[in-house]
Amino acid sequence: MSHRFFNVRHLAAIAASLSLGSAAHAAQINLTITAENLAPTNSISFAPLHFGIHNGSFDAFNIGQVATAPIISVAEGGSGVAWQAAFALADPGATRGTIGMPLFPGQNRSLTVMVDTAVNTYFTFASMVIPSNDFFIGNDSPTRFSLLNPDGSLKITSIIQKASQIWDAGSEVLDPAAAAFVGDNGLRAPQNSVVAFNFGEFAAYNGLTTAAGYTFNSALSAGTDVYSISFSAAPIPEPEVYALMVSGLMLIGAIARRRRGKA
């Protein structure tokens, strides 16, 4: 009798170890990305977050250089259509996505995507900051955020953006009447400058009524936290591991039935 108990327990342990072993070596994971607006009440909001988990080859912009169409598509209006297309062309195997809808102060949204960590380990993002003519957040270097280890574990769990890390694309003249979220963005005029850090000019929008209905008040200093991107990961067992687990559980069930029959 004790020998049969040992068999059942031993097989259960094997099934559990197969599951754990797959988690330790999984090349594919479910990655949950959560974006949160940390800005003060009635301060800046953010257009949808465009992101990609990739091999490090997509470079959307560079500080001190003229902004190109991909980052302009984020900074002027937030659509990111050209950004997504350029990303797909540069790295067809990347996992890309968008966490949609404007994000007002205090709000957060999440999205879960499947990632192959054998080829995609870097995280890149971009989002328009509103109200503005052409301000955005994003990483200059494509390898700035090394997110994943090959086994699917996280190297970092969050990215925090401060007001001092907000970019000015330099592509559109500052004009509150033509700014997204407080004016008519269709009236924009080209500036022909370069990408640079800039948060001080948000004061130009103070007192204006936003599209969300609140009266804008920047209230930003260089060290103000304005945006958070956090991550959690869950392994996806490989198909052959599922098969072994099912076989083991079926065998456990058969032994249990056999014991009951003999009893």
21 falls within a domain = no
Q: Mean pLDDT throughout 104-116?
A: 98
Convert the pLDDT of each residue in 189-232 to its tens digit.
999 999 999 999 999 999 999 999 999 999 999 999 999 999 99
How many C-alpha atoms does 68 have within 13 Å on its Cβ side?
13
pLDDT given at position 7: 53
Same domain membership, residue 158 and residue 34:
yes
Give the residue, 96 or 256, on which the prediction is more confident.
96
Same domain membership, residue 254 and residue 186:
no
Same domain membership, residue 245 and residue 168:
no
Number of folded domains in the chain?
A: 2
23 falls within a domain = no
The residue behind tokens 């067809």 is 92
Same domain membership, residue 134 and residue 49:
yes
pLDDT given at position 239: 62
| Domain of residue 128, CATH code | 2.60.40.2130
pLDDT above 80 (res 20): no
195 falls within a domain = yes
192 falls within a domain = yes
State which residues form the domain around 205.
29-235
Same domain membership, residue 253 and residue 124:
no
pLDDT above 80 (res 13): no
Same domain membership, residue 209 and residue 81:
yes
pLDDT above 80 (res 62): yes
Same domain membership, residue 185 and residue 252:
no
The percentage of the chain sitting over the pLDDT mark of 70, rounded to a whole number, equals 80
Query: pTM higher than 0.85 for the full model?
Result: no
Helical ranges in the chain per DSSP H: 2-25, 69-75, 81-90, 239-262
